Structure 1
């Protein structure tokens, strides 16, 4: 395993050196701070005294449907270039920083576009702000979007393939399910009886974090060439989100019971 040391923080992935904004810390910090300011300060101030933009429904429907299609594309292509065509081990898969074969480069390029789609997820929050659904702009919601973008940026800069392929695929599939629900829920009252599975969405996300936690800990016990630094970033996040979603699930259950 070989990497080119050009960073005071970690050895950069030489395969993505020179890619647009990859590894650019100033870009990441500006983007995330701008997002937080927009949805927690600037946006609410702009909407103060204004009526909600309820006419955004057609735009939001197109956005949600686009996200379903894009994330389904990621699910298919991540699998095609890892476990079903990329020679990946489902148990433990390291990172080969010297790999330049077509399948590997295509996987890295997928990760690049995956990052930009996760940045586009910020529109979720922006739509909430414009429609004055401030209760939806929760701490969990904002932190989730921030960390997903950070993970995508970190992976591209320091190695986005290997063991994390399962997490990328699973996360993309979760987004397919979530955005499908968002799209269908906007079709009107006639569709709502068919959305009975909404109650299982949080449970579905909890299962995702359990799988990610277990899978990401495997390289700690089985040496397959996956960087320890990547595990140190992924595992605490899986535990954090599991705890936060458990808290959200319990609160929602109590409200429903009352």
Structure 2
């Protein structure tokens, strides 16, 4: 069981994993470890939002009539991510016996709590794929300026993380990052929802600029927490650690750059409007 991992102080760094171990608990699950699905999904997403979609919308008016659909979508995402925060906490740190400092993976664990955690990770991946819809909405409303490199890469990497976890072990140390990410999505989608309710509500959304700061704090917390397996031996795979650390550094650098550009450039009101569109992980 992942929750039974022993935590001991390590005098020397663990030897790097020679290979990735396919998680036998999810090997027969739909889409788990399916590389063709992942590659096809990413190619289709990039093509639709950067090529096919803008080409389709050329000469057409923005589909502003989909605003009620977007409001419903944002509300649904708030509720789903609230559920993820509570559910992941109850199956890890508040009910699964997880160690907050360092939690390994036991690929042989098939108890009820562990398997329900893995099932939750599968649904988490499905919702992160559904996040692609917000980019589709940008295309249909001809808000191409919001479809930045950071926006597209962020969506792709978050889905990759979910897919990678299901294939090679989604539980363990990464749980805190997933919980933080879900909470950030609650805040972000709440902002999106409120911003669509009209001027009477929008004037109270003065806290927009702090959303990116909130995202940066998230990346720092994930980075520091992910470093723990280097100092404490708990059986968490090194490849997972390397991926999480590199992404935390990448996103922190990109979001700092974006924040400075959005809130330091006196000519950037349109950029500022885009700042909150690039959600965290």
TM range (shorter): over 0.9
**Corresponding residue to 1:90 among 82, 94, 100:** 100
Q: Deviations over 1:89-146 (max 9, x none)?
A: 1100000111111111111000000000000000010000110001100000000000
Matching of residue 32 in structure 1 with residue 42 in structure 2: yes
**Is 2:145 aligned against 1:124?**
no
Aligned mates of 1:232, 1:16 — CA distance in 2: 22
Match of 1:218 in 2: 228
Per the TM alignment, residue 232 of structure 1 is displaced from its structure 2 partner at its CA by 1.1
TM norm structure 2: 0.88
Q: Which residue matches 2:259?
A: 249
How many residue pairs match? The answer is: 252
Paired residue secondary structure (1:194): coil
Higher relative contact order (CA 8 A, sep 6+): 2
Equivalent runs, 1:69-218 vs 2, <5 Å: 69-218=79-228
C-alpha distance in structure 2 between counterparts of 1:255 and 1:114, whole Å? 36
Q: Choose the corresponding residue for 1:49, options 46, 59, 65.
A: 59
Q: Does 1:238 align with 2:266?
A: no
Give me the whole-angstrom Cα distance separating, in 1, the residues matched to 2:107 and 2:20.
14
TM-score of the superposed pair, with normalisation by structure 1 = 0.95
What corresponds to 1:18 in structure 2?
28
In the alignment, structure 1 segments of 5+ residues that lack a partner are 3-8
Q: Return the offset for 1:33.
A: 0.8
Query: How far does the alpha carbon of each residue in 1:69-102 deviate from its partner, in whole angstroms, 9 at most, with x for none?
Result: 0000000000000000000011000001111111
Single out whichever of 58-67 and 191-200 deviates more from structure 2.
191-200
Q: Which residue of 2 aligns with 1:6?
A: none
Structure ranking higher in helix proportion: 1
1-side partners of 2:77 and 2:266: how far apart? Answer: 30
1:222 shift after superposition: 1.1
1:256 Cα deviation from its structure 2 partner: 4.4
Distance in 1 of aligned mates of 2:236 and 2:21: 14
C-alpha deviation, 1:11, in angstroms: 1.9
Quote the offset at 1:18 in angstroms: 0.5
Kindly report the root-mean-square deviation, in angstroms, between the aligned alpha carbons of the 2 structures: 1.4
